[in-house]
Amino acid sequence: MARVLIVGAGVTGSLCAVLLRRQTSGPLYLAVWDKAEDSGGRMTTACSPHNPQCTADLGAQYITCTPHYAKKHQRFYDELLAYGVLRPLSSPIEGMVMKEGECNFVAPQGISSIIKHYLKESGAEVYFRHRVTQINLRNDKWEVSKQTGSPEQFDLIVLTMPVPQILQLQGDITNLISECQRQQLEAVSYSSRYALGLFYEAGTKIDVPWAGQYITSNPCIRFVSIDNKKRNIESSEIGPSLVIHTTVPFGVTYLEHSIEDVQELIFQQLENILPGLPKPIATKCQKWKHSQVTNAAANCPGQMTLHHKPFLACGGDGFTQSNFDGCITSALCVLEALKNYI
């Protein structure tokens, strides 16, 4: 039985897992490892510590589908709509720029429910708090070491974490990346920003006419969302949640500052945008060091194969673009590259 490891439980990793399972006829051991405490990657949904039903999307807010991808990736959208994982965005988002023929979708159960759907469908063994540190070649197999626990062996590996984290891996992998590939990988760049989730008690009223708003006149805040309202979830038993995304210049400037200091700065600026906002009962501040790809890997559309036998490839938005369709494209390219090795 082939043993396959996918590193990264974000959109690309979960898509690779489900596509691999559906396209493989023989027995397959499929593992997904992630260094975080839950799945989602940059499509993460945080829960209030007081009520797990009170949630906030700290990463991607909604999914925009262009006419081109509505046709090209129709089966992916159809599946998520059929399962109720996605539904059309109907709440007002002020300042959103819409191009002709585009559709926007929200995830009623939180944006991470997309990843959870794919992981469940894949039947993969999913492990959290598994931070990969080394990848070595051992007798035509990969030996993968993590921060804690014993190394494990696999026949195929797909790396879907942000490219700078791939370049930090130790072991034989450092010698397997050619000089040309290393230059391509080192040229991949990302923007950085912070996201702040605010959770409120049931019955709290946040009286604004919109569900989301793009802010253009603030040095710190770029986007604010009443997250439950964005997803059309109004409940007397579940308190509202608010999500604030900072601007990229703010994110870059305060990248190495403490989360507490950054949170305080965001609160100060939020008072200018929503004066008199009630005090939340819980907060969650997330630093996105690798938020969105600003420069993708050149001349390797969708994926980069680092080794053929045994197979090792990397994929993700670093090889396409930072949106749902970019991740689908990458996963399809990874599957195409590895189909002869499974």
Residue 121 falls within a domain, yes or no? no
Q: What is the pLDDT of residues 215-247, one digit of tens each?
A: 999 999 999 999 999 998 888 889 999 999 999
Question: Taking phi first (over 0 means left), then psi (-120 to 50 degrees means alpha), and beta for anything else, what does residue 308 get?
Answer: alpha
Does residue 203 sit in the same domain as residue 69?
yes
Q: Is 316 left (phi over 0), alpha (psi -120 to 50) or beta?
A: left
Which two tokens mark 5? Answer: 């490891």
Closest CA to 59 of 173, 227, 184, 233: 227
**Three-state DSSP class for 219?**
coil
What is the pLDDT averaged over residues 317-337? 97
Give residue 333's pLDDT: 97
Query: What's the pLDDT at 40?
Result: 96
Residue 173 lies in a domain: yes
Is the domain of 198 the same as that of 265?
yes
- Residues 194, 55, single domain; the answer is yes
The per-residue pLDDT for 342 is: 82
Closest CA to 57 of 189, 290, 227: 227
Number of other residues whose CB lies within 10 A of the CB of residue 106? 24
> How large a percentage of the chain has pLDDT more than 90?
94
With a cut of 90, say whether residue 125 has pLDDT above it. Answer: yes
% of the chain at pLDDT higher than 70: 100
Do 85 and 118 meet the contact criterion of CB atoms below 8 Å apart?
A: no
Residue 122 lies in a domain: no
Residues 267 and 199 in one domain: yes
Q: Which of 257, 274, 295 is the last residue of a domain?
A: 295
Query: Is the same domain home to 231 and 278?
Result: yes
Q: Does any domain span residue 120?
A: no
What is the Cα–Cα distance from 46 to 198, expressed in whole angstroms? 10
pTM across the whole model: 0.96
pLDDT at 340 over 90: no
Asked whether residue 289 falls in the same domain as residue 306, the answer is no
Residues 16 and 141 in one domain: yes
Question: Residue 293's pLDDT band (boundaries 50, 70, 90)?
Answer: very high
Claim to verify: residue 315 and residue 222 sit in the same structural domain: no
The whole-angstrom separation of Cα 198 and Cα 44 is 15
In a domain, 123, yes or no: no
Confidence check: pLDDT of 98 > 90: no
* Average pLDDT of the residues in 170-178: 96
Which is nearest to 34 in space by CA: 136, 162, 137?
Answer: 162
Domain identity same for 106 and 59: yes
Per-residue pLDDT band for 261 (boundaries 50, 70, 90) equals very high
3-state secondary structure of 199: strand
- Asked if residues 287 and 266 have their Cβ atoms less than 8 Å apart, the reply is no
pLDDT of residue 30: 98
103 shares a domain with 199 = yes
pLDDT above 90 (res 307): yes
Strand, helix or coil at 259? helix
What count of other Cβ atoms lies within 10 Å of the Cβ of residue 228?
23
**pLDDT at residue 287 greater than cutoff 90:** yes
Domain count, the chain: 2
Measuring CA to CA, which residue among 257, 269, 264 is closest to residue 220?
Answer: 269
Distance CA 278, CA 267 (A): 12
For 16-72, write each residue's pLDDT tens digit: 999 999 999 889 999 999 999 999 999 999 999 999 999 999 999 999 999 999 999
Distance separating alpha carbons of residues 292 and 281, to the nearest angstrom: 30
Does residue 256 carry a pLDDT above 90?
Answer: yes
Average pLDDT on 131-137 reads: 98
For 179-208, what is each residue's pLDDT tens digit? 999 999 999 999 999 999 999 999 999 999
Residue type, 12: T
* Residue 47 DSSP SS3: strand
Which residues span the domain enclosing 248?
A: 47-110+190-295
In a domain, 54, yes or no: yes
Rounded Cα distance, 270 and 266, in Å: 6
The CA distance from 338 to 342, in Å, is 7
Handedness of CA 324, 327, 332, 335 (dihedral sign): negative
Q: Taking the CB of residue 320, how many other CB atoms lie within 10 A of it?
A: 23
Q: Residue 263 maps to which CATH number?
A: 3.90.660.10
Specify if 202 maps to a domain.
yes
- φ, ψ of residue 259 to 5 degrees: the values are -60, -40
**Average of per-residue pLDDT values in the chain:** 96
CATH assignment at residue 303: 3.50.50.60
Q: Tell me the average pLDDT across 107-122.
A: 97
Tell me, yes or no, whether 145 lies in a domain. Answer: yes
| CA triple 22-162-220, angle to 5 deg | 125
- Whether residues 284 and 322 share a domain: the answer is no
Do 143 and 284 belong to one domain?
Answer: no
- For residue 304, what pLDDT band results from cuts at 50, 70 and 90? very high
- Predicted local distance difference test score (pLDDT) of residue 107: 97
